[in-house]
Structure 1
Amino acid sequence: MATDVALEMTGINKIFPGVRALSSVDFDCRRGEVHAICGENGAGKSTLMNVLGGNYRPDAGEIRIDGKPVRFRHPQEARAAGIAVIHQELSLLPHRSVAENVFMGVEITRRGILDREGMRAKTEKILRRVGSAIDADAPVSGLSIASQQIVEIAKGLLLDARILVLDEPTAALDERDAGRLMDLIADLRAAGTAIVYISHRLREVMTLADRISVLKDGAKVWTRRRAEVDLGAIVTAMVGRDLRDFYPDTGAAAPGAAILSVQHGGNAALDGIDLEVRAGEIVGVGGLEDSGKAELARAITGDLPFVRGSVRVAGSATALTSPRASIAAGVGYLPSDRKGEGLAMNQSVRDNALLALHATQPLLSLPGRGRFAAKAIDPALRAGDVRAADFGQPISTLSGGNQQKVILCRWLAQNCRLLVFVEPTRGIDVAAKAAVYDEMRRFADAGNAILVVSSELPELIGISDRLLVMHQGRIAGELPCGATEEEVMHLSLGLGHLKQAEGSPA
């Protein structure tokens, strides 16, 4: 008997040593439907999709594809059944080309020889389908994290899957690229693809999803049609808190003296940069992916130094010519690629928190100094509410939110006056986001300053005391606390201030 249900998962259980990751979870997705899964980190979302994708075998339960029971022993068997899972964690080979990564494991050959031209042509076709101009021959190592995410998505689209799982697909994308992906998802849905959509960006969920399921502690809380719920109901089901509680109040006191001052700053990517970040302030930086906002963060942290203009930190003229010089000046950096640039994944929680101290205080790295190192950092980790059984365990075992807290503790222990955050809550759940926001506000209220770059406009608007918006390597304008998303986008597109534009003659 024909059915419109493409995927059914019934009574799925998965137990790891000491942890019940999934408890009798039921889930289904129909042809031509977007079914979103929401939940905190650790709720079981990724585990459920790893069961579907053949990475894990369920301890109990059944999976049916088009009504027929299946048991996948390997991811290749799931792919052969028409299932494509695009995971949040990138799995690209940095020194291979975009086309080689897209066709990894499914290479095209002719008479036993790789058909590089055929792979390049098909890769370009897929990239154009998602509205991307990425060069199929470019090495992945030279791409931004956003472009790498698009390549990961292209890998999934190559299969023409009947069931497509997207795990945080827009986490690294700005509003423009995310919008293009939304259009593509709408096209796939219209073509009959069953789409499972996992995202912490709940407004996307409310825009895209036909149905929404919430998982908590490995169990399903409920499944409802989108029209039956609002953002508040989703958040409450996930974490038991009201959505209004997630952004802290803006600074209570008037801003103090400038912690950072840049005048006429410029380099190959930036020009005419004039800005101040004052004590007690969180200053947001918005803009499209290619606006220069990431390059601004790199310039201030010495990774892509200014070659023109002047910089003052805490009133003193400073040459931020390298990351080490930036650290010495009291500037800390939380990069967008947390795992690739911010953490040593095979090292312990403690060692990761100590990275900056080891660089600036080499005596801590000497043999026999481990007890002193622990004494220097463990209180900061406890105060920062880093959830770990032992600070000696590998940081790879922690959730994304706890990993981000470790990086924050690293800079707090360094007594930095200015923190530069880039995508501070990428890939972490709403509860962890709230904890990071609270730490940011406490840091600023203590007389320090934060410059935060983010692609999430609600986040920028919610946490910033004022906003700078970038366009083509320049600051296109400044907006006060409480600015609207429309005002930010108007500046991002180079259209000037919205109110001025509205008042201009037609």
Structure 2
Amino acid sequence: MTVSPALSMTGISKAFPGVRALDGVDFECVAGEVHAICGENGAGKSTLMKILGGSYRPDAGTIEVAGRAIHFTHPRQAAEMGIAIIHQELSLLPHRSVTENIFMGREIVRRGFLDKAAMHRKAALLLKRIGAEIDPRTLVSSLSIALQQLVEIAKALLLDARILVMDEPTAALDERDSRTLLALVSTLRREGVAIVYISHRMPEVTAIADRITILKDGRKVWTRRADSAPVTEIVRAMVGRDLKEFYPPAPVSPPGKVLLAVAGGNNAALDEIAFEVRAGEIIGVAGLEDSGKGALASALVGDAPFAGGTMMLGGKPTALRTPRQATAAGIGYLPGDRKREGLALRQSVRDNALLTLRSMAGLFTRPFKGALGNAKIDETLRTMDVRAADFGQEIGTLSGGNQQKAIIVRWLEQASQILVFVEPTRGIDIAAKAAIYETMRSFADSGRGIVVVSSDMPELIGIADRVIVMHQGRISGSVARGAGEEDIMNLALGLSGPALGRTVA
């Protein structure tokens, strides 16, 4: 017996000025199925989903929901048809509560007044359903990106959606929260929800998907059952070549002199932090969402500085109280939320790459000339393979991977000796990841050091020379290159480490 698709998209095409985003794409998803869509940034995934969600109208093609032809002209129409889309770029209002965000546009009204108590109760139930320990009265601005992602999911579940699109849902989640989310996806599948799952995390895709569709350059390459689509074939179909060496090789030479050392570092979120970074080293930082790994990055760059202990840079004591002081001392910072913290989205690619140099020189209002002019920064942007029609275009129009590479260029131009990267490959495609890993390795091999905070365990294992693991604001232990995920998770959960008399080496 043939199962009728909950969603059927046939011959979908969409063009923008100078770009053919989609060219005759077919896609379907049945009730109780997880159908993954994979492809590089710019492959057409987001455009296809924006058409499904009513944000764009297709130039050609048809869409059927539960066998009924539909023509959406507004996102609300899609929501009313039981389609919920959780976008990678969060759409929450930061200065409203969790409850207010979940019920935005769907408030419960009783006798002409908002029934806030009923909404708080319902929000609490939705959050409990997805395993999120969040007070629904909390302001969204006080939540981490990972917790904000969970609020977005609760918001979608309020619609009782029958078709749920999840765009990079675990990109900002740690291992524990990712497992909780994937368990939720399995539950929704059993309840008969048709789930369209977009992710660049290959192990996750093969673990959760029933079928996988590959898009490349706006066209469908193939659709296969997940059990007949090994990761090697998925990657080859996405990028058109094999990525035999996804992570760069380990350095041949041992690390050099100590560039950064912290002893007894503490503040409201951290306690007895002690570690060092040597020239040529990439130090990974792992931990669960509430472990203090983000607080450690903030302390190193002077955003939420250490209140006690000692910090040495180049063998000299230093006390960094502001990010400007950290920049002047030679520490660069790539934040976890690039759009909110790292980019001026309405400014050009070139201006974003020059942002720190201009800030440190006090030259926001006039352009650099000579050696620090456009030609030099454009050359560096090309070397980093930042892909844009023109480096004068707004950086907000670029893919996430290209935006991330432009921020890295900023710190290369600043000649930083230490780079602190937070979630450096969040939400970017597999080829862009490989390029960023290569740049990180080259940066370290040139005699500088990197501290990389990441929720992506394979990433830390693949790129870091050593991984320190955070638990409850302290370093619970460290693992050397080649250690497994289980070793890191045991430390992250506090199941091994100095407090229990054992350190994984």
Structure 1 and Structure 2 fold alike (TM over 0.5) = yes
Name the structure 2 match of 1:40.
40
Distance in 1 between residues matched to 2:368 and 2:358, nearest whole Å: 11
Deviates more, 1:334-343 or 1:242-251: 242-251
The alpha-carbon deviation at position 109 of structure 1 amounts to 1.2
The alpha-carbon deviation at position 186 of structure 1 amounts to 0.8
Matches within 5 A, 1:208-357: 208-357=208-357
The alpha-carbon deviation at position 242 of structure 1 amounts to 2.6
Q: Deviations over 1:172-223 (max 9, x none)?
A: 1111111111111111100111110000111111110000000000000000
Name the structure 2 match of 1:175.
175
Q: Is the 8 A contact 1:270 1:296 kept in 2?
A: yes
Q: Is the 8 A contact 1:3 1:66 kept in 2?
A: no
Q: Deviations over 1:112-168 (max 9, x none)?
A: 221211111111110000001111011111111111111111111110111111011
Distance in 2 between residues matched to 1:125 and 1:210, nearest whole Å: 29
Give, as a single letter, the amino acid of the residue that structure 2 aligns with 1:428.
Answer: I
TM-score, normalised via structure 1 length: 0.96
Distance in 1 between residues matched to 2:182 and 2:120, nearest whole Å: 25
Matches within 5 A, 1:147-186: 147-186=147-186
Name the structure 2 match of 1:431.
431
Distance in 2 between residues matched to 1:17 and 1:112, nearest whole Å: 47
The alpha-carbon deviation at position 243 of structure 1 amounts to 4.0
Matches within 5 A, 1:185-196: 185-196=185-196
The alpha-carbon deviation at position 237 of structure 1 amounts to 0.5
Change (3 A) 1:211 1:2: closer
Give, as a single letter, the amino acid of the residue that structure 2 aligns with 1:298.
Answer: S
Name the structure 1 match of 2:387.
387
Change (3 A) 1:327 1:440: same
Matches within 5 A, 1:341-420: 341-362=341-362, 364-367=363-366, 369=368, 373-375=373-375, 377-420=377-420
Q: Is the 8 A contact 1:281 1:465 kept in 2?
A: yes
The alpha-carbon deviation at position 432 of structure 1 amounts to 0.3
Q: Is the partner of 1:77 in helix, strand or coil?
A: helix
Q: Is the partner of 1:131 in helix, strand or coil?
A: coil
TM-score, normalised via structure 2 length: 0.97
Distance in 1 between residues matched to 2:375 and 2:6, nearest whole Å: 55
Give, as a single letter, the amino acid of the residue that structure 1 aligns with 2:185.
Answer: I
Distance in 2 between residues matched to 1:34 and 1:368, nearest whole Å: 50
The alpha-carbon deviation at position 377 of structure 1 amounts to 2.5
Distance in 2 between residues matched to 1:10 and 1:350, nearest whole Å: 40
Name the structure 1 match of 2:91.
91
Q: Is the 8 A contact 1:22 1:48 kept in 2?
A: yes
Name the structure 1 match of 2:54.
54
Give, as a single letter, the amino acid of the residue that structure 2 aligns with 1:450.
Answer: I
Q: Is the 8 A contact 1:487 1:497 kept in 2?
A: no
Distance in 2 between residues matched to 1:40 and 1:162, nearest whole Å: 27
2:125 corresponds to 1:111: no
Give, as a single letter, the amino acid of the residue that structure 2 aligns with 1:237.
Answer: A
The alpha-carbon deviation at position 368 of structure 1 amounts to 5.9
Name the structure 2 match of 1:14.
14
The alpha-carbon deviation at position 379 of structure 1 amounts to 2.6
Distance in 2 between residues matched to 1:142 and 1:366, nearest whole Å: 33
2:460 corresponds to 1:463: no
Q: Is the partner of 1:21 in helix, strand or coil?
A: strand
Give, as a single letter, the amino acid of the residue that structure 2 aligns with 1:150.
Answer: L
Q: Is the 8 A contact 1:86 1:153 kept in 2?
A: yes
Q: Is the 8 A contact 1:354 1:373 kept in 2?
A: no
Q: Which runs of 5+ in 1 are unaligned?
A: none
Give, as a single letter, the amino acid of the residue that structure 2 aligns with 1:116.
Answer: K
Distance in 2 between residues matched to 1:374 and 1:60, nearest whole Å: 41
The alpha-carbon deviation at position 476 of structure 1 amounts to 0.7
Give, as a single letter, the amino acid of the residue that structure 2 aligns with 1:485.
Answer: E
Distance in 2 between residues matched to 1:324 and 1:159, nearest whole Å: 45
Q: Deviations over 1:299-338 (max 9, x none)?
A: 0000010011111111111111110111111000000001
Change (3 A) 1:189 1:501: farther
Q: Is the partner of 1:25 in helix, strand or coil?
A: strand
Deviates more, 1:397-406 or 1:377-386: 377-386
The alpha-carbon deviation at position 376 of structure 1 amounts to 5.0
Distance in 2 between residues matched to 1:457 and 1:2, nearest whole Å: 40
Give, as a single letter, the amino acid of the residue that structure 1 aligns with 2:39.
Answer: G
Q: Deviations over 1:395-446 (max 9, x none)?
A: 0011101100111010111110000000000000000000100110110000
Distance in 2 between residues matched to 1:273 and 1:148, nearest whole Å: 28
The alpha-carbon deviation at position 388 of structure 1 amounts to 1.4
Q: Is the 8 A contact 1:86 1:166 kept in 2?
A: yes
Q: Is the 8 A contact 2:4 2:67 kept in 1?
A: no
Give, as a single letter, the amino acid of the residue that structure 1 aligns with 2:325.
Answer: A
The CA RMSD over aligned residues, in Å, is 1.8
Q: How many residues align?
A: 502
Give, as a single letter, the amino acid of the residue that structure 2 aligns with 1:46.
Answer: S
The alpha-carbon deviation at position 245 of structure 1 amounts to 2.0
Q: Is the 8 A contact 1:3 1:67 kept in 2?
A: no
Name the structure 1 match of 2:127.
127
Change (3 A) 1:210 1:501: farther
Q: Is the 8 A contact 1:270 1:473 kept in 2?
A: yes
Distance in 1 between residues matched to 2:502 and 2:144, nearest whole Å: 35
The alpha-carbon deviation at position 355 of structure 1 amounts to 1.4
Change (3 A) 1:373 1:366: farther
Distance in 1 between residues matched to 2:166 and 2:262, nearest whole Å: 41
Q: Is the 8 A contact 1:231 1:243 kept in 2?
A: no
Give, as a single letter, the amino acid of the residue that structure 1 aligns with 2:290.
Answer: D
Q: Is the 8 A contact 2:166 2:196 kept in 1?
A: yes
Give, as a single letter, the amino acid of the residue that structure 2 aligns with 1:236.
Answer: R
Q: Is the 8 A contact 1:279 1:444 kept in 2?
A: yes
Give, as a single letter, the amino acid of the residue that structure 2 aligns with 1:399.
Answer: S
Q: Is the partner of 1:420 in helix, strand or coil?
A: strand
Name the structure 2 match of 1:479.
479
Q: Is the 8 A contact 2:420 2:452 kept in 1?
A: yes
Q: Is the 8 A contact 1:39 1:238 kept in 2?
A: yes
Q: Is the 8 A contact 1:495 1:501 kept in 2?
A: no
